[in-house]
């Protein structure tokens, strides 16, 4: 059988636009005599639609689009289509919706295979919207028996997990009901290391059941999530016949009778995948929100340099404005390093000193602050002046302000509300500082884009004389180790100390992570690239009193 996998980038809520894209590809594949065209999970609605699913008018529009697609299939009598879509259950109890893969052929729906396993961990909250499938079925189609599953349904292989999230395995049920071909439609977000795990899962099913496996994932950025695609077709031995490129739309037809080749699948380089994910996530976020330009505050530091470089790659140099705002404590090198970065990137660059504005602030507050010593208050005033200037340019000229804080600093609250946290998108807020440095070297892999002085000089907020980040924070390699163990792996204080960090440093980091939830709650959305990002996937209380246990 000739099957076309359509790895595409939907827009959430753009039902008519997503339908048009599907119909155009369907017609083209039909003319090329494809037997079946497969689209990703929830493609007509876009994924994740979140609380749009609770709007009756939205579900009605999706159903009308599905009806149109079913009518279109009459024009292509030799080609079927599998579409990911939310459909009503028709029941008076439960959520009233299924997350479904619908097989359409010659004007009829041959099968609606509803999702069985509804993830409710990390960024997923599907039990909020969907009911679980009542049963798993297979369907005969053009000489094959199709076992069609939706994303998570393929992720419960008992051989890969020490503790499974669900009591049963839909893939095993489909194989037991005579499936001769597995097809999984997905909206599986990117995170570092996940691509290799995904391949091992699909490979395991193909080998265990001796069945070819077609996996179709969406690509593109939707809010904080980025979808990397990497759709693939594996033969019955688990060997790849075709592996699609990452982070781009790709439509390809495969023959299920073809044999695969070991070694065809090679995971992406870690830094390359992070770079591409951030570029795609940034670009899609702006475009899908109606922006075409970005504003970046250039401090002369590595975070703003990396952010600005990503923006240029995503949007084009003509659509990025960089602004340097020196204060009384800024080094001359900070402005010149920023200017050199702007020249290397070819972007518009402005210098707006803030010393006069800062003096006016201090003068206005002098009577009220009399008898107190300068402290973090005066430091934060400078950050907030800069935030206001950047937002003024965003308002006046329409570019989205990009926040430049990294995960290490956001974690422990080394950031200023309404200052450097201002912005519409926090591009690198899920990148630990150590990886920010690695990414800077990756950006410079072919030529110097980020000036070397920006990379090698000690990080500083430059909000008081002689200030360095390491005066307040542990060394970044130590900080990032503690954060990974505490946030990503949920390790105890005792366990973290066993990895080598000083006990008092470990306790300081954890205390500051916990007490700064209120700051992160007000942060701009960030692009998720690690296993545990701040945002929708981490839900900690703010008004709470709890202490960490050392064991």
pLDDT attached to residue 464 = 62
Contacts of 217 (CB under 8 A, 6+ apart): 7, 40, 186, 187, 188, 227, 228, 229, 230, 231
pLDDT attached to residue 280 = 98
**Residue-wise pLDDT tens digits, 163-179:** 888 888 999 999 999 99
CATH 3.90.950.20 assigned to domain 275-521? The reply is no
Mean pLDDT along residues 489-507 = 93
Q: Which of 29, 41, 409, 415 is catalytic?
A: 41
Contacts of 237 (CB under 8 A, 6+ apart): 206, 207, 210, 259, 260
Mean pLDDT along residues 208-221 = 97
The secondary element (H helix, E strand) that includes residue 355 is helix 355-369
Q: Which of 29, 126, 144, 151 is catalytic?
A: 151
Q: Indicate the pTM of the whole model.
A: 0.94
pLDDT attached to residue 298 = 97
Annotated catalytic, 415?
no
More confident residue, 330 or 482: 482
Residue of 291, 272, 302, 285 whose CA lies nearest to 226: 285
Residue of 96, 48, 43 whose CA lies nearest to 65: 43
What secondary structure, in 3-state letters, does 498-541 show? CCCCCHHHHHHHHHHHHHCHHHHHCCCCECCCCCCCCCCCCCCC
Residue 543 above 90 pLDDT? Answer: no
pLDDT attached to residue 224 = 96
**Residue-wise pLDDT tens digits, 433-444:** 999 999 999 999
Collapsing DSSP to helix, strand or coil, 110 comes out as strand
Beta-bridged to residue 349, according to DSSP, are: 322
Q: Which CATH architecture has domain 2-253?
A: 4-Layer Sandwich (3.60)
| Six token digits for residue 345 | 């990137």
For residue 490, count other CB atoms closer than 10 A to its CB.
9
Of the pLDDT bands very low, low, confident and very high (cuts 50, 70, 90), residue 483 is very high
Q: Which of 21, 29, 115, 308 is catalytic?
A: 115
Contacts of 85 (CB under 8 A, 6+ apart): 42, 43, 44, 45, 62, 66, 100, 102
Residue 537 above 90 pLDDT? Answer: no
Collapsing DSSP to helix, strand or coil, 372 comes out as coil
**Residue-wise pLDDT tens digits, 105-126:** 999 999 999 999 999 989 999 9
Annotated catalytic, 208?
no
Contact (CB, 8 A) for 513 and 490:
no
| Six token digits for residue 409 | 């600093």
pLDDT attached to residue 457 = 86
Give the least confident one: 32-41, 219-228, 291-300, 325-334.
325-334
Give the least confident one: 35-44, 174-183, 371-380, 387-396.
371-380
Contacts of 58 (CB under 8 A, 6+ apart): 13, 45, 49, 52
| Six token digits for residue 528 | 């998720």
Mean pLDDT along residues 269-277 = 97
Residue of 438, 436, 512, 501 whose CA lies nearest to 472: 512
The whole-chain average pLDDT of the chain stands at: 94
Annotated catalytic, 515?
no
Of the pLDDT bands very low, low, confident and very high (cuts 50, 70, 90), residue 466 is low
Query: So where are the chain's domains?
Result: 2-253, 275-521
Of the pLDDT bands very low, low, confident and very high (cuts 50, 70, 90), residue 536 is confident
Of the pLDDT bands very low, low, confident and very high (cuts 50, 70, 90), residue 460 is low
pLDDT attached to residue 101 = 98
What secondary structure, in 3-state letters, does 326-338 show? CCCCCCHHHHHHH
**Common-topology check for domains 2-253 and 275-521:** no
pLDDT attached to residue 463 = 62
pLDDT attached to residue 165 = 84
Mean pLDDT along residues 133-156 = 95
């Amino acid at each position: 059988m000739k099957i076309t996998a359509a790895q595409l980038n939907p827009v959430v809520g753009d039902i008519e636009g997503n339908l048009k894209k599907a119909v155009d590809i369907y017609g083209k594949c039909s003319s090329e005599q494809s037997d079946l065209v497969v689209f990703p999970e929830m493609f007509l609605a876009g994924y994740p639609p979140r609380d749009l699913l609770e709007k009756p008018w939205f579900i009605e529009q999706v159903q009308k689009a599905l009806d149109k697609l079913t009518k279109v299939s009459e024009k292509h009598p030799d080609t079927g289509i599998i579409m990911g879509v939310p459909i009503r259950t028709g029941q008076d109890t439960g959520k009233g919706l299924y997350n479904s893969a619908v097989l359409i052929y010659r004007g009829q729906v041959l099968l609606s295979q509803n999702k069985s396993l509804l993830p409710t961990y990390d960024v997923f909250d599907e039990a909020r919207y969907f009911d679980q499938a009542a049963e798993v079925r297979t369907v005969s189609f053009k000489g094959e028996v199709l076992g069609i599953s939706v994303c998570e349904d393929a992720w419960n292989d008992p051989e890969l997990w020490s503790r499974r999230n669900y009591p049963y395995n839909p893939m095993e049920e489909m194989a037991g009901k005579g499936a001769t071909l597995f097809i999984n439609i997905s909206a599986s977000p990117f995170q570092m290391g996940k691509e290799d795990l995904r391949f091992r899962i699909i490979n395991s099913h193909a080998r265990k059941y001796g069945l070819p496996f077609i996996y179709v994932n969406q690509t593109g950025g939707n809010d904080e999530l980025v979808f990397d695609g990497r759709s693939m077709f594996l033969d019955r031995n688990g060997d790849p016949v075709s592996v699609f490129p990452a982070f781009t739309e790709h439509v390809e037809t495969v023959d299920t009778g073809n044999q695969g080749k070991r070694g065809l699948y090679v995971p992406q380089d870690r830094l390359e995948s992070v770079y591409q994910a951030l570029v795609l996530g940034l670009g899609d976020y702006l475009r899908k929100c109606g922006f075409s330009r970005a504003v970046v505050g250039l401090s002369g530091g590595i975070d703003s340099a990396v952010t600005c470089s990503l923006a240029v790659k995503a949007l084009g140099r003509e659509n990025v404005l960089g602004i340097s705002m020196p204060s009384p404590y800024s080094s001359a090198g900070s402005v010149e390093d920023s200017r050199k970065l702007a020249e290397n990137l070819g972007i518009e660059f402005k210098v707006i000193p803030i010393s006069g504005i800062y003096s006016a602030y201090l003068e206005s507050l002098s009577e009220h602050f009399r008898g107190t010593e300068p402290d973090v208050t005066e430091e934060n005033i400078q950050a907030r002046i800069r935030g206001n200037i950047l937002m003024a340019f965003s308002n006046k000229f329409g570019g989205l302000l990009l926040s430049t804080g990294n995960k290490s600093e956001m974690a422990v609250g080394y950031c200023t509300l309404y200052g450097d946290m201002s912005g519409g998108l926090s591009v690198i807020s899920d990148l630990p500082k150590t990886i920010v440095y690695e990414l800077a070297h990756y950006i410079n892999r072919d030529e110097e884009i980020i000036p070397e002085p920006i990379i090698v000089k000690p990080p500083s907020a430059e909000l008081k004389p002689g200030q360095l980040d390491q005066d307040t924070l542990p060394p970044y390699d130590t900080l990032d180790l503690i954060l990974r163990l505490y946030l990503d792996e949920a390790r105890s204080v005792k366990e973290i100390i066993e990895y080598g960090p000083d006990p008092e440093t470990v306790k300081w980091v954890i205390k500051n992570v916990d007490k700064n939830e209120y700051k992160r709650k007000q942060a701009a959305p960030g692009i998720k690239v690690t296993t545990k990002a701040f945002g929708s996937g981490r839900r900690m209380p703010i008004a709470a009193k709890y202490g960490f246990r050392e064991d």
